[in-house]
Amino acid sequence: MATRDKNKRIRLRIGDTVQVTSGAHKGETGQIKRFKKDLSRAFVEGVNKVKRHEKPMPALGRMGGIVEKEASIHISNLSLLTADGQQTRVGYKVLENGQKVRVARKTGEEL
């Protein structure tokens, strides 16, 4: 059973481009679509595809059948990619106007 850590701070954001660092999908890249924060898991576009059988729901306009969709990946298996494709960690920096921004540890660029 997965442990739930509601106080865990996730430094990644929806829309970030990430690379899978370990597991069956190691080396694949994609953008984060959504999170399950209580389980520290993320859904990455085009990575960890699974097939699910869905019942038809005429009220919602769903036909049913076998649907392929993304399954979640633990965030410890993801690494942020910079604009030039390097893996990096996320840090924070406070600007002169007092605004806190995320920065790439490897290059120092703002994210």
| pTM across the whole model | 0.78
The percent of residues in the chain predicted with pLDDT above 90, rounded, is 56
For domain 17-104, say whether CATH 2.30.30.30 is its number.
yes
Average pLDDT score over residue span 76-103: 91
Mean local confidence (pLDDT), 1-8 = 60
Counting every residue written for the chain, the total comes to: 111
Report the percent of the chain where pLDDT is more than 70: 93
| Contacting residues for 36 by C-beta, under 8 A, at least 6 apart | 42, 43, 72
Rounded distance between C-alpha atoms, residue 46 and residue 36, angstroms: 17
Tell me the average pLDDT across 39-67: 91
Please answer whether residues 43 and 70 qualify as being in contact, where contact means their C-beta atoms are separated by less than 8 angstroms: yes
State the Cα–Cα distance between residues 16 and 34, nearest whole angstrom: 10
pLDDT at 49 exceeding the cut of 80: yes
Contact in structure between 25 and 104 (CB atoms under 8 Å): no
In whole numbers, what is the pLDDT of the chain averaged over residues? 88
Domain boundary assignment for the chain: 17-104
At residue 2, does pLDDT exceed 80?
no
